[in-house]
Chain A
Amino acid sequence: MWNSVEGFFSSNYVYWAANYFFFIYGAFLMIFYFTGVILANIAIKKNKLKSSFLQVSDIVSATDIPSVTLVAPAFNEGLTIIENVKSLLSIQYPYYEFILVNDGSTDDSLEKLIKEFDLEKKDATFIIQPITTATVKYIYKSRNKKYTHLTVIDKNNGGRADALNAGINFTTTELVICTDADCIIEQNALLKMVRPYLEEQEKEIIACGGGIGIANDSIIKNGILKELRLPENLVPLIQVVEYIRAFLLGRMAWGEINGLMLVSGAFGMYPRKRVIEVGGFDAKTVGEDLELCIRLRTHMENLKVPYKVVYLPETLCWTEGPPDHNILIKQRDRWARGLWETMSIHKKLFLNPKYRFMGILFYPYWLFFEFGAPIIEFLGLICIIAFSFLGWINWHSAILLFTLVYLIGCLFSTAAIFMYVKNFDHYNKPKQIVELLLAAYLEPFLYHPVLLYGQMKGYYKKLFGIKSGWGVMTRKGFKVSDT
């Protein structure tokens, strides 16, 4: 067909193949997104109606609800540990335990905790460890009656997943919530999180997640979010939009068809029994939250027990997003590696009818459109550069196409902001909304290329076996108000 390589390239074949490939990929993505908006809208409406029949005040007054343990790992967080623990201790729930796992901190975190909460060392000889973890040195309980629900586990360093597993081992409650010590959790978050567990009767809830919001530059008082403000810097500001879009559109839409494969590590609730059955978080991957959720789903598929993974649209957990490009790159590099590892661990799911929709639709979606998106985007950039050198690009049409794709992206972001404003009261000032919209429209130029770089860096490391762990995530810390 072609006499030489030169002949192959000079034919229109490459040009059209590339064009069709990117067009089909983009079209599928658009279809998924549009369907997502519709499904998310249905899910949010349903959630609103249903929640009127099970209000937080009803749950709080009940005496028979399942007990919950919140597990938070901490590593070298001495600067903010006391404030963070106080914040997590103040959560409202009638039967609540809090386990802080000191994952081999080398700073003075433990000493500070012992002093502040009057902790007493307990023997750890007889602790039961259904999940193997790094050695637990001591267990600490408070002598102060105010903090009887606090347990501190001091263990050797083993990473976040390992620390969570150590905490889960020690829990005795029906439900376990995994979070980070530096997250600010809404006071009534647990009451809202147990709602699906209480209500569901046909399927077993194996994981439940809540919305996560960015609270950089917000005001914190006594560990409670006193005033939610929009971040002053552009990078975290754009992340506010990104999180709204991801949680409100993405997660809610997938939740509506029981297709959620991820419950964020920052705030996820699981039944202890199931987590123990699957052996807890995988300490070998940096995408442990995604991996656990997929493993739980696979486990339930194998057991042939009907199950559900649910998401609540309300923002229940506030976290500090990366404040600048450098930290953002590190974070996305880690997420990309986690995704790579998880996709690789569970490759047997791919188009496997044994796992029903998870094998046929959900996993392939993640593979092509979550894992594959940065690669396709990167290839797209290479094609644009190569084709422009070869003079194959009609620049006028290309600019029009770019404008169209850009505007469609803006439409999705605007729709997400609208749904958030309509349903929640967090950002209700016109100035805030204008800022969010501007951030959304600047995202493709000032934020997305950095994101792509971070993701490709992660893939590069995996491809060439460059070892890399969690990396240091320097945080500025929330603004703490004394008044």
Chain B
Amino acid sequence: MSEEKFIFLIEVVAVLIVAVWISIASSLIYRKRRLKVLKYIEETFADIVSRYLYNDIQNPLTLIEIQRTLRKAGIKSHKKANIQYLINLMIRTQRTILGTNHKKLKMLYAQIPPYRVSISKITGFGWYRKAQGIREIYEMDQSQYRHNILRFRNHRNVYVRREAQIALVVFLGWESLRFLPYLKREISLWQQIKIVEKLYDLYPTPELPWLKKAYKTDKLFGKQLLMRGIRKYKLQAEVNFIIENLNHPNYEVRETAIYCIQTFVISDEWMVEVKEIFSILPDATQQMQLLKYIFNNSEIDLDFYLKHLYANNDDLKLKIAEILWNNGYKEKVQEFYYQQYAKINPYVE
């Protein structure tokens, strides 16, 4: 390569470095200025909300005044980042307010500059905007748009369909179980957790008919979701659904069932069934987890423990030996160990 070419390349790289320096400097300056703007919007919003929620009769805050003040703070249609920040502030605020003020805040949301901004997002392109729009709609309880959201519940993008499914829970409550256990695509662990949490927060009284109907689902995630619901609502009468799934062929479903059963104290009859399931569980780690549950929730059943003390899994034997040792059956453990030694032929042929 000629020296001229080297020099040219050096110049190019040097220019690029300078460009990155400029980017660093601009990023610092932008961040500093942006923080100032955001702080101003936040202060303005806090002032408006407090005056709006606790309106002074002598000096009432009008909608025009609110709009004017917000515009002055930079909430203008072409400043999308500012509008987004205001929406985030509203969502954050409504989460901390209850009762009449909560309703008033939602009304305010429909009347101030981000008019229809959330619904316009879900009709636009891009998964992020769609998911964001759906979230804003359900967070601000804009139930008039629920039919627009329903169609996204099986969307190909995980975030869009996730938010749409949460919206279903928010707007339909227990009735959402008409759809959720039958979705076309898998739902993640987090999604299951969030659905159950949201349902519990907004609809604390269980509506069992919807739950019972949903038991028919053959979707694995659907079964997991229902078990988590039973656990969260502590539905003792529905615990048989969890027990039935303790020996489900799928590992994850069994895992969820073992996790959920821990919340419940079950009857002796059910415990007999759990012990039977324990004996046929195909995974040793899960057997260990279930053993812990059996031990913590039933009287010492010597026959049951002895049967498994002489079974094949070493870890299980050790755990059972510990249980027996610490619960007054030391001689049974000693007997077991002596028998082990007896099996070893002391003579070398």
Contact = CB atoms under 8 A, between A and B. Distances in A.
A417 B24 contact: yes
A130 B315 contact: yes
B43 interface: no
Interface stretch (A246-254, A364-372, A402-410): A402-410
B6 interface: yes
Contact of B21 (A273, A401, A407, A414): A414
Contact of A403 (B10, B27, B228, B321): B10
A58 B319 CA distance: 37
Contacts of B158: 199, 201
B325 interface: yes
Nearest to A64: B193
B53 interface: no
A418 B20 contact: yes
Interface string A363-400: 00000000000000000000000000000000011001
A401 B13 CA distance: 12
B118 to A, nearest CB: 15
Given A62-B193, A198-B189, A201-B186, A400 B159 contact: no
Secondary structure at the A interface, as helix, strand, loop or mixed, is helix
Contacts, number: 101
Q: How large is the interface on B (under 10, 10 to 19, 20 to 34, 35 or more residues)?
A: 35 or more
B188 A404 contact: no
Contact of B9 (A273, A404, A418, A422): A404
B196 interface: yes
Interface string B314-340: 010011011001000000000000000
Given A197-B189, A421-B27, A407 B162 contact: no
Nearest to A400: B6
B135 interface: yes
A130 B189 CA distance: 27
Given A50-B159, A54-B190, A126-B319, A397 B6 contact: yes
Given A50-B159, A404-B10, A418-B27, A397 B321 contact: no
B28 A128 contact: no
Given A61-B197, A421-B28, A411 B3 contact: no
B167 interface: no
Given A418-B27, A428-B28, A65 B187 contact: no
Interface in B293-349: 315, 318-319, 321-322, 325
A62 B197 contact: yes
A53 interface: yes
Contacts of B132: 52
Interface of B: 1, 3, 6-7, 9-10, 13-14, 16-17, 20-21, 23-25, 27-28, 31, 128, 131-132, 135, 158-159, 162-163, 186-194, 196-197, 228, 231-232, 285, 288, 315, 318-319, 321-322, 325
What are the 8 tightest A-B residue pairs by CB atom distance, in nearest-first order? Answer: A198-B190, A126-B322, A400-B6, A201-B188, A407-B13, A64-B193, A414-B20, A128-B315
